Amino acid sequence: MDPNARASEQAVPCSSPPPVILVVDDEVDFLSLTEKILRKTGARVMLARSATEGLWLAMRAPPDLVFLDLFLPGSDGFELLTILRTEPETRHAPVFSVSAAYIEDRHDLLRAGFAGHFAKPVAWAHLCKLIATIR
């Protein structure tokens, strides 16, 4: 590199931007705890308490990753997943289901289009490892 080049013109290594993560769940305590943990990973976190709110946020700022409760008031997680998969802005973002309900066959979730499933209470260490892979 030319030693006379100004510092502002020299190549500066860039770090990747923090991932944008959307969490859709109707339980306020779960949202609050999840936000605290996800922010510690450096992620930008968007929170929604309904499928409608989650869709609105996803269209404003397409997420890199989505955690979606299966059982929401009004439209459920399956309906929101279907919409997210049809929108160009969100179709490639991995969507993980999150639920306290017993899921008899997790393969049904994968066939529906979910990238995986987290049972509540969530294994936070596992979730943080997942986030590290999307950077």
- The structure's pTM equals 0.85
66 and 84 Cβ atoms separated by less than 8 Å: yes
- CA-CA distance, 48 to 111, in Å (whole number)? 25
pLDDT in tens, 43-57: 999 999 999 999 999
**17-133 maps to CATH 3.10.310.30:** no
What residues does each domain of the chain span? 17-133
- CA-CA distance, 133 to 115, in Å (whole number)? 14
pLDDT in tens, 57-69: 999 999 999 999 9
Q: Which residue has the tokens 């976190």?
A: 45
- CA-CA distance, 87 to 12, in Å (whole number)? 35
**How far out from the chain centre does Cα 84 lie?**
12
From 67, 87, 90, select the one nearest 77 (Cα to Cα).
67
pLDDT in tens, 2-54: 455 454 445 445 567 889 999 999 999 999 999 999 999 999 999 999 999 99
56 and 80 Cβ atoms separated by less than 8 Å: no
